[in-house]
Structure 1
Amino acid sequence: MTKNVGFDLFIRNEREAEIAERSDRLAARFAERSAQHDTEGSFPFDNFADLREAGYLLLTVPRAYGGEEASLYEMVLAQERLARGDGSTALAVGWHVGLLHQLRYTNAWPASLYERFCQESVETGALVNHLASERATGSPSRGGRPETKAVAAEGGWLLSGRKTYSTLSPILTCFTVSAAIEGTEETGEFFVRVGTGVRVEETWNTLGMRATGSHDVVLENVFVPDDQVVHLSGAPRQERTPDDGGWLLHIPACYIGIAYAARSFAIQFASQYRPNSLTTPIAELPNIRRQIGEMDIALATARTVLYSVADRWDREPERRAALKPELGLAKHVATNHAISIVDTAMRIVGAASLSRSLPLERMYRDVRAGLHNPPMDDVVVNGFAQRALDEVKQIMK
């Protein structure tokens, strides 16, 4: 067990230590490339080659197909430590490992389609993501009807439309999309392979998370055979076990990882930097020590909430629906604490933190993206308000 891993109180056994060590090794490589990919807005194909070679892409694939079958807790651990090296890479691959974790529990795909993709992922390193966002509908978590259309054709369906925020688009060979069934009020989910009629428009040019490859994906009469239909809303479906959003914990894990990296950079800087007006490094100043303490309190709070919720999700499957507010809480706390931690780190380092030659300004931009990942803050807060109101109504009866 490495020294860094040994200090982590959230690592409970040897398997988790091995998962953490692999993420640490990958993160160290990614950190060397992150500035260039951020400046260029380029997709980190080199990072994904390393992820594939290290077996990381199989983290949540079932053992039956040759994967590691990571628990939610293990996935969170892997993702948090990976993000310490590069937030964009961690968030992007998080959609792949998170979706495969969800599918393992929910039976959301037809069994034959799920088996085929798992085998393909093991054999070729194929990645997958679900593309649902559109400009007119906004976040799919808000419930808008997709403008992408599906038209019945002989032996399948023809899909046309445009998906936005299509993370991993430069490297995907397949993906699922939501679409409205033309002439009905129904919707469907379809498994699409990249080929004729599918193109990527490089529209992703953002303030933060610049290397996630979240471009627009355009579909023009793309044929999807019937055996690649995931589900049609008007049709009966196989029994499905709800995930209740557990897989989305890959999102707060990413932002906590970025915050950890910013905090560590600031502490190292404060431990070494001694202006000529002082006889000791600035880490000895009361104000700097207070800010370091505040960063670590925020970090410990966010990690404690995240890992305790992930652990309960794993251990108490019968209570997963009841845990939904806490799953949102983990994301709310992680995202907002991460922003605060990076801000404090920049205050410690001072004006130098604004320099493009240091990583803090990139981390500052990256953590703000968490505010726009689901679940949104207002949804989480409203959910807790509703639960509190329901609780008081029950008491008053």
Structure 2
Amino acid sequence: MTSFDPARYLPDDLLARMRERAVVHDRENTFPHDDLDELRAAGYLGILVSEERGGGGLALAEASVLQQRLAGAAPATALAVNMHLVWTGVAKVLRDRGIDDLSFVEEGAAAGEVFAFGISEAGNDLVLFGSDTTAEPDGEGGYRFTGTKIFTSLSPAWDHLGVHGLDSTSPDGPKMVFAFLDRDDSVVSRDDWDTLGMRGTQSRTTELRGAHAPARRVVRRLDPGPQPDPLVFGIFSVFEILLASVYTGIARRALELAVEAATSRRSKKTGTTYANDPDIRWRVADMALAYEALPPQLAALAHDVDALADHGGRWFSLLAGVKHRAVTMAKSVVDDAILVGGGSAYSSRNELSRLYRDVLAGMFHPSDPESAHSTAATAWLGPVTA
């Protein structure tokens, strides 16, 4: 693997174009097809795919840096492509552990195909460990999925959708089935994405109406509930790290905009810029202190995933924790950036106004604050006893 240069995949001119288009996609509630096309042409969809299969061969820590950089220009584009990178990241996690079950994901991504994440369901706080979607065996090793998935990012653009569902007919007990679907008439995407922020993700509701996954695209049958299977670990670890990366990138951009405002706005009272105001300096410093803690944490955890580190039962607490800290930090930083920016930041045309809305989406992604705290409490105190 050659030395890592973020500008190879995300040069400044590309980021500038994406930042300009982000305004339009947010205002018009449209999907950033141009962004996706340029990322595909740059090989971005295959950054986590092995070089042997035509990808970039990057480490998870390097992908985290890229996602932070992308989110600073176009948060919705970064969050949307994140869901594709989750599956390529899971393929890498498995491959690194000698399991090549998702080779077709790597090959497809290297060829420019888009994989989407169809796991979330309304009211399903079990997430990976349970599902309201039914998985009906087809008698030949495949399954037909019937149910409703929410927050399906990349809805207008995906080629393959990774889903899970519950097979309650299995003679050896209920099984959680993980598989990949192709687009056809049995997969219906509702045009219902009209949200406060992250509008460009177009994370629409998806109806599965007996959608078929052949045996070759069924990747796991697991007992419901927490499982030590590498697929579950791969999904959780890559999802949390890359998600935290997106919101960390938003925080970095908000901090940059606050610095620009502080160094350009002048006080009538003092005749100098607000960069010399002790209260503003304290606020910007507080933002920097909060932000600067996250990139090293993300780098360390991502490296541990790549290096097959063994954190045992602590893994889920560590991963949920970094996501929770990134999201709460980012919201706090954006809040302070709005104050530093002054009244102009309240205008819908101001970039900080969009970041203020975009960053709110972080609280809805797993692990939510309640789950993160429960996981941390169990890691340190053990399970609740009667």
Normalised to the residue count of structure 2, the TM-score between the two structures is: 0.88
Q: Give the match's secondary structure for 1:169.
A: coil
Count of matched residue positions in the alignment of Structure 1 and Structure 2 = 374
Q: Which residue of 1 aligns with 2:176?
A: 187
Alignment partner, residue 130 of structure 1: 117
1:385 positional shift: 2.2
Is 1:78 the equivalent of 2:69? no
Structure 1 residue 190: Cα displacement: 2.2
Q: CA deviation at 1:292?
A: 1.0
Q: Measure, in 2, the Cα distance between the counterparts of 1:35 and 1:244.
A: 31
378-387 or 150-159, larger mean C-alpha shift: 150-159
What letter matches 1:215 in structure 2? R
The answer as to whether partners of 2:51 and 2:57 remain within 8 angstroms in 1 is yes
Q: Tell me which of 33, 40, 45 is aligned to 1:52.
A: 40
Determine the structure 1 residue equivalent to 2:155: 169
Please give the secondary structure, in 2, of the residue aligned with 1:165: strand
Partner Cα distance (2:243, 2:207) in 1: 26
> In the superposition, relative to structure 1, how do residues 378 and 221 fare at CA in structure 2: closer, same or farther (>3 Å)?
closer
Note the 1:10-89 alignment, pairs <5 A: 15-16=3-4, 18-20=5-7, 22-25=9-12, 26-89=14-77
Change (3 A) 1:177 1:311: closer
Secondary structure at the residue paired with 2:310? helix
User: Structure 1 counterpart of 2:6, which letter?
Assistant: I
Give the conservation status (yes or no) of the 8 Å contact 2:54–2:110: yes
- 3-state SS, counterpart of residue 211 of structure 1: helix
Q: Deviations over 1:197-218 (max 9, x none)?
A: 2221111111121111210112
Q: Identify the residue that residue 292 of structure 2 maps to in structure 1.
A: 300
| Residue 319 of structure 1 pairs with residue 311 of structure 2 | yes
Give me the whole-angstrom Cα distance separating, in 1, the residues matched to 2:288 and 2:261. 16
Match of 1:158 among 131, 144, 147: 144
What residue is the counterpart of 1:205 in the other structure? Answer: 194
Calculate the aligned-residue CA RMSD, in Å: 2.9
Q: Deviations over 1:170-216 (max 9, x none)?
A: 10111121122254533312221102322211111111211112101
Alignment of 1:332 onto 2:324: yes
Partner Cα separation in structure 2 for residue 114 and residue 316 of structure 1: 18
The equivalent position to 1:373 in structure 2, one of 365, 368, 379, is 365
- How do 1:218-233 and structure 2 match up within 5 A? 218-233=207-222
**Distance change >3 Å, CA 320–CA 99, structure 1 → 2:** farther
Structure 1 unaligned segments of length 5 or more: list them: 1-12, 392-397
Mark the runs of 5 or more structure 2 residues left unpaired by the alignment: 224-228
Q: Which amino acid aligns with 2:381?
A: L
The whole-number CA distance in structure 1 between the counterparts of 2:266 and 2:332 is 25
What SS is found at the alignment partner of 1:318? coil
Taking the TM superposition and a 5 Å limit, the aligned residue runs for 1:209-358 are: 209-233=198-222, 240=230, 242-243=233-234, 245-247=236-238, 248-315=240-307, 317-319=309-311, 322-358=314-350
What residue number does 1:94 align with? Answer: 82
How far the C-alpha of 1:329 sits from its partner, in A, is 1.9
Post-superposition offset of 1:381: 1.9
